[in-house]
Amino acid sequence: MKKINLACIIEDDPTHVYITKRFLNLTGLVESILICSNGKDAFTKLKAIISSGEKLPDLILLDLNMPVWDGWQFLDAFKEIPVKEKIDIFILTSSNNEADIERAKNYNIDSNYIVKPITLEKLKDVIFNE
């Protein structure tokens, strides 16, 4: 299993943030976690990390349905930033809508589409054993 220095959770629901953060910590493979409450907040924080020359997250867990900027708006903006490191982005959403799953293919992350609720076993399977 790979070690993750920094994971980023982009999620507006405090309950889902708590559960996801707890599960990431229980894996013992995540050093630190950055929490963002919406796509714009995440974009701003990640852009600041890039500007300061710090290391970007190895992993982003992205909700789709959020206020301010949703997950799609974040992806559209984030893909315009030249990033040298590989970042694994997983959509972690309550949407099992076929249109959303199809849309994820436009970002080449359709295989990284996880429908909530997340379990510790599912998180380990999809993220650490890819």
Answer yes or no: are the C-beta atoms of 126 and 91 closer than 8 Å: no
How confident is the model at residue 130, as a pLDDT? 54
Query: 3-state DSSP call for residue 115?
Result: strand
**Residue 61: per-residue pLDDT:** 95
Q: Is the pLDDT of residue 1 over 70?
A: no
Average pLDDT over residues 81-107: 87
The pLDDT, as a whole number, for residue 56 is 92
At 38-86, the pLDDT tens digits run: 999 999 999 999 989 899 999 999 999 999 999 999 999 998 888 888 8
SS3 content of the chain, % helix, strand, coil (to 5): 45, 20, 35
- Output the furthest CA–CA distance in the chain (Å, rounded): 39
Q: Give pLDDT tens digits for 5-32.
A: 999 999 999 999 999 999 999 988 899 9
Strand partners, 31: none
**Does residue 110 carry a pLDDT above 70?**
no
Beta-sheet pairing, 4-10 with 113-115: unpaired
What is the reported pLDDT for 72? 95
Phi, psi (5° rounding) for residue 43? -60, -45
